[in-house]
Amino acid sequence: MRAVIRKTPSSKLLASAVLAASCSLLSMVTHSAEGWGQSTPGDQLGNAKALGADTWMRCAAQMTAPGAKVYELSHIRSNTMPKSPFGVPLDYAFRGTVGLPGTLHAFNGESVSGEHAAQGTQMDALGHFGVLSEPWDGAGDFPVDKVSYFGGFSQSEVKPSADSPLLKLGVENVPPIVTSGLLLDAKAYKGKGERLAPGDRVTKADIEGMLKAQGLEERGILPGDVLFIHTGWGEKWTDPMTDAEYYAMGPGLAYDAVQYVGEQGVVLVSLDNPFTDPVLRGQLQGQAGAPEGTPAGLPFAIHHHNLSQSGVLQIQNSRLSEIAADGVWNFCAMIMPLRIQGGSGSPVRPVAIGAPAP
């Protein structure tokens, strides 16, 4: 005669908590000796090296938590969504319904033109940004042969000609991201419930303060985590676009924060804004300088550090208002960029699975 064990909601909750704690401990033991946020010769993965069995286990703990639900963290792509000034606008052309003579079939289709990896919710590959050893003064041709990239790759190794795809560090090298995710609510913590202003910087101290305020201090940030930060700027994303400010300015990460998240082993960071970098009103038009604390010659220092220095992927234009409203601070994240050979980025559909706060 076999004993029958009945799984009650409380036993499921306990099992999930035990699994999550075990996975976190495993992650800390497994990766404690790793040097995260560093560029090593020949590396095309960066902090994505942290992904693996232990991050999948942490993900499983969140998916099986009682009350867990799915959150879409991307915006719907359309011809009327906000358009980035840094990329060719998308244009979806929808074809008429057609059929095949002698059959019962009818089918529809569409085509798309434009820079799909620079519009909407999209991921930057590590090869999206390179760096010069000294600032270009704008005279003559751009010294492209002097550009270097994450992993110590040279321009000739990454993009030897203007019409070449990326031969190294392209988005096809990004592995499937299945891992634990954290959401930090900067609108609630730093903004006191108000949307952060253009140029506002989320600092290392803010990140540590949000971890404490949201009950995540003991867990902390683990190698392999993806980190989403809700600033409230995403409230300006409307479709059709009605607020031209969305792509003209915005809050972002401070330089000490981007260094910190790389050192913690974060695989990917994303905000509900178009830049990840803080951008002051008038900055893009040359009417204002970069925010305080920005290193000289690096007005987009967050892009620079994540992609060319620490190997941290980025997603722009995340949709975070719903998951933030539900207080889902810890979740399973599944993020799959398209495997575009030599692409500097990709459209992406990040999904979170986690349980709303009781």
pLDDT in tens, 76-102: 999 999 999 999 999 999 999 999 999
Residue 335 has pLDDT above 80, yes or no: yes
Q: DSSP 3-state assignment of 31?
A: helix
Lowest mean pLDDT among 11-25, 104-118, 195-209, 238-252: 11-25
Q: Which helix (H) or strand (E) holds 99?
A: strand 98-99
Give 306's contacts (C-beta < 8 A, 6+ positions apart). 124, 129, 258, 262, 269, 276, 312, 313, 314
Percent over 90 (pLDDT), the chain? 89
Best CATH choice for the domain 12-78+119-354 from the list 3.40.190.10, 3.40.50.11440, 1.20.1440.230, 3.50.30.50: 3.50.30.50
Residue 115: predicted pLDDT: 95
Give 337's contacts (C-beta < 8 A, 6+ positions apart). 123, 125, 171, 174, 345, 346, 347, 348
Residue 291 has pLDDT above 60, yes or no: yes
User: Confidence class of residue 7 from pLDDT cuts 50, 70 and 90?
Assistant: very low
* Average pLDDT estimate for 8-36: 50
240 cis-preceded (ω within 30 degrees of 0): yes
User: Confidence class of residue 358 from pLDDT cuts 50, 70 and 90?
Assistant: confident
- Taking CA atoms, 68 is separated from 14, 61, 65, 179, 323, in Å, by 15, 10, 6, 16, 12
Residue 304 has pLDDT above 70, yes or no: yes
Residue 101: predicted pLDDT: 97
Residue 6: predicted pLDDT: 38
User: Confidence class of residue 153 from pLDDT cuts 50, 70 and 90?
Assistant: very high
SS (H, E, C) 181-250: EEEEEHHHHCCCCCCCCCCCEECHHHHHHHHHHCCCCCCCCCCCCEEEEECCHHHHCCCCCCCCCCCCCE
User: Confidence class of residue 350 from pLDDT cuts 50, 70 and 90?
Assistant: very high
* Average pLDDT estimate for 38-49: 97
Interatomic CA distance for residues 16 and 9, integer angstroms: 11
Q: DSSP 3-state assignment of 301?
A: helix
Residue 280: predicted pLDDT: 97
Which tokens belong to 20?
Answer: 């999550």
Contact yes or no for 303/124 (Cβ under 8 A): yes
Average pLDDT of every residue of the chain: 92
Interatomic CA distance for residues 195 and 314, integer angstroms: 21
Residue 27: predicted pLDDT: 46
* Average pLDDT estimate for 66-81: 97
Question: What digits encode the pLDDT tens for the residues 129-147?
Answer: 999 999 999 999 999 999 9
